[in-house]
Structure 1
Amino acid sequence: MRCTYFDAARCRSCTLLDQPYAVQLAGKVGHCAEVLGEHGDLTWLPPVTSAEQGFRNKAKMVVGGSTSAPTLGILDPTGRGVDLRACPLYSARMHAALPLLADFVSRASITPYDVTTRSGELKHLLVTESPDGDLMVRLVLRSQEAVTRIRKHLLALQAALPQLAVASVNLLPEHKAVTEGEREILLTEGATLRMRVNGIDLHLRPQSFFQTNTEVAAALYRQVTAWVDAISPASMWDLYCGVGGFALHAATPGRAVTGIERSVEAVASARLTARELGLADVRFEAGDAADVGGTAGGALPELVVVNPPRRGIGEPLSRWLEASGVRHVVYSSCNAETLARDLRAMPSLRPREGRVLDMFPHTGHYEVAVRLERD
């Protein structure tokens, strides 16, 4: 993939872009095999590749510049905005939408936030694209100062951008290195973006997590579902379930499935999909996956799926799984280092099969899924 931003050294976020894609992929597979090398009987399935460009479903744009000429992209070392609207990681539909959103910033007179002076309002523009081409747009603001003007100009934006399904304002009053705050103000009647994956409509609310690469996420769901169906458990827990991707894919009549997720918004989204699909044996609960012994209650499941953030599941949950007697665990990880650490804490659960999925081309990051079985 060629990128003029990378060639001009304006953006080097894609740290591996100067390597051919096949070399990138081989490096990731080799790194994962090395990190998990102590598990010599682990069988590796062929890696899942990604498109080299146009694969990102999410644009997390730092807003810089001025009200009349906002930049959407990143900040340079001096705090000045670098506009990346034409980044080749985004689809053609996203490329068409970003200039309209920049114009909206100007029309609504939303002052970009200046990190050096800690003044201004608009910090980030977060845009998510569904497989059907619909969009969720979130404006991360320092305060509610611009909300009235945003509402005033929203109808014109919807007319210019008819695929806009969900719009919201997120409030981040603090000056700190995070993308969004805790409070969300919904601006549209629509509250969820439908992410159609493998024929299932997953509902994404403004503060819910979804994988950045839809096609590779679909492959990940298929792989985990294939492992689950081969084991054919009567009961399953999906921990760190997000909007319910693994649970909803693995659901089948007679299989009791429970999803646990800290985000109340994500749980609401998962419950909505379960109702639409008529899945009576699937339930979702808001809670801390690390305290799953007290959260889920009832009898132990035959299989547990875990899909934690980069920090991994950590010692408490690793210890609980090791002592629980659960026979089967599927661990989906975006950090092989923390995966390896957690596996050492669960010596009775042996890795049998693994697969690298290239969720993040041109970077050193990747997803790896591993099927574990108790000795």
Structure 2
Amino acid sequence: MDKSILCNYFNSKKCSSCHLLPNSIEEIKNQKILSLNEIFSLEVSQGLIIRDMIETPKAFHSRAKAKFSVGGTSNDPIIGITNKNLMITELEECPLHFEIINNLLPTIKNLIKTHRITPYDIKSKSGELKGLIIKSNSEQDQLILRFILKSKKHLEDIKSFMLTIQEKFNYIKIISVNIQPIPHQILEGEEEIILTKKNTITEKYENIELVFGPTSFSQVTPYIAHKLYKKVAEIISTNNCQGLLDLFCGVGGFSIIASEHIKWGIGVEISDQAIQYAKQASEINHIEKLTFLSGDVESFLESYNENKPDVIICNPPRRGLNNNICDHLKTISPNMILYSSCNPITLQRDLEYLSDIFIIEELIPFDMFPLTKHMEVLAILKKKH
């Protein structure tokens, strides 16, 4: 069945972000599995098992996080995506997003008009409002709304309508302003100004709650994120792992959810704020066996001389690990490495570098980014004997 009939933006060629949309769900899954087999062709020829894709029951309205560019004028703002001509294409009813995200956009447009907030123009580098970032939890009862501004010129305007929008949409728990003064491809700047009293939301994973703030990294498809965390916890339990290191741990999702199966764990993350949220979640869930440290992963591993972990979890950015980090993993030599990656190419590179000490038992792909070529892949590595 041709799923493209369900998306007017794709059919009208306004948006091609979901570039696999003309294919059926089964065809899309097969294409992703095929691409993994091609990237890991050598390893597959040597016996690597690639499991079936873990899928979401529905692709549409599955995405909990949306990033929008804002263009046009204060009288006629456009909320959407930046096209190849550096113009903004309207995208207010993207069928991938949670509906509560799309429902906000008409009201935000009206407030932009009423308060004459000038959208940013990429070509002339003029204007103020560059974009919006909206994130919901999976229950869709807590939402973060972030305005990306070039400067603080319209900060008071946003403060003035903050209560109005929260009264209309009571699930908006956090409103913040991010200042990005640089005409840069990176949407977010370093300064985040939280305007609401509340500065965190929570995400439930069965009996566990995780804590997120405006700038926290979070997986875009909660259903698949739940499956990924659960699979890692199951593997740790099945292999009777007692101690773990959680590298690039973010807000601590992997180690907190797996904590009932271990005796001790250490999470490491460069972001001080993410570590603060990980510690908050540990307190909320009454977990005392985990320690969370803020710092550079490579520096941490270089000086690590404590208990040897049974398992190391790695969840690095798209660029993957570097050889120094991989060398430290070899030196520590845990029984198992669980490596979660959104970039199969850098994953293959890193696993090849580790292959003298570890064998890749299997890859499990997760459809974290439905209708696109992208996916999350969990690699299970065991130490060679």
Report the CA distance between 1:132 and its aligned residue. 2.1
Alignment partner of 1:37 is 2:45: no
Post-superposition Cα deviations, 1:174-228, rounded to whole Å, max 9, x if no partner, equal: 1110010111001001101212233322111111100011101111011111111
Counterpart amino acid of residue 155 in structure 1:
L
| Residues 232-311 of structure 1 aligned to structure 2 (within 5 Å) | 232-252=240-260, 255-294=263-302, 298-311=306-319
Report the CA distance between 1:345 and its aligned residue. 1.1
Counterpart amino acid of residue 166 in structure 2:
Q
Report the CA distance between 1:300 and its aligned residue. 2.6
1:85 corresponds, among 80, 92, 115, to 92
Report the CA distance between 1:374 and its aligned residue. 0.4
Do the aligned partners of residues 92 and 38 (structure 1) sit closer, same or farther apart at CA in structure 2, a change above 3 Å counting?
A: same
Q: Partner residue of 1:358?
A: 367
| Residues 1-375 of structure 1 aligned to structure 2 (within 5 Å) | 1=3, 2-39=6-43, 40-50=46-56, 51-133=58-140, 134-252=142-260, 255-294=263-302, 298-347=306-355, 348-375=357-384
Query: What are structure 2's unaligned runs of at least 5 residues?
Result: none
Query: Secondary structure of the residue that 2:219 maps to in structure 1?
Result: coil
Report the CA distance between 1:81 and its aligned residue. 2.0
Distance 1:49 1:218 in 2: 12
| Percent identity between the two aligned chains | 30
Contact conserved, 1:196 with 1:202, CA < 8 A, in 2?
yes
Distance 1:112 1:77 in 2: 18
Distance 2:165 2:375 in 1: 36
Contact conserved, 1:288 with 1:295, CA < 8 A, in 2?
no
Distance 1:112 1:364 in 2: 31
Contact conserved, 1:64 with 1:80, CA < 8 A, in 2?
yes
Query: What are structure 1's unaligned runs of at least 5 residues?
Result: none
Contact conserved, 1:107 with 1:153, CA < 8 A, in 2?
no
Query: Secondary structure of the residue that 2:41 maps to in structure 1?
Result: coil
Contact conserved, 1:112 with 1:122, CA < 8 A, in 2?
yes
Contact conserved, 1:100 with 1:160, CA < 8 A, in 2?
no
Moved more, 138-147 or 99-108: 99-108
Report the CA distance between 1:254 and its aligned residue. 5.6
Query: CA RMSD for the aligned pairs?
Result: 1.5
Contact conserved, 1:260 with 1:296, CA < 8 A, in 2?
no
Do the aligned partners of residues 107 and 203 (structure 1) sit closer, same or farther apart at CA in structure 2, a change above 3 Å counting?
A: farther
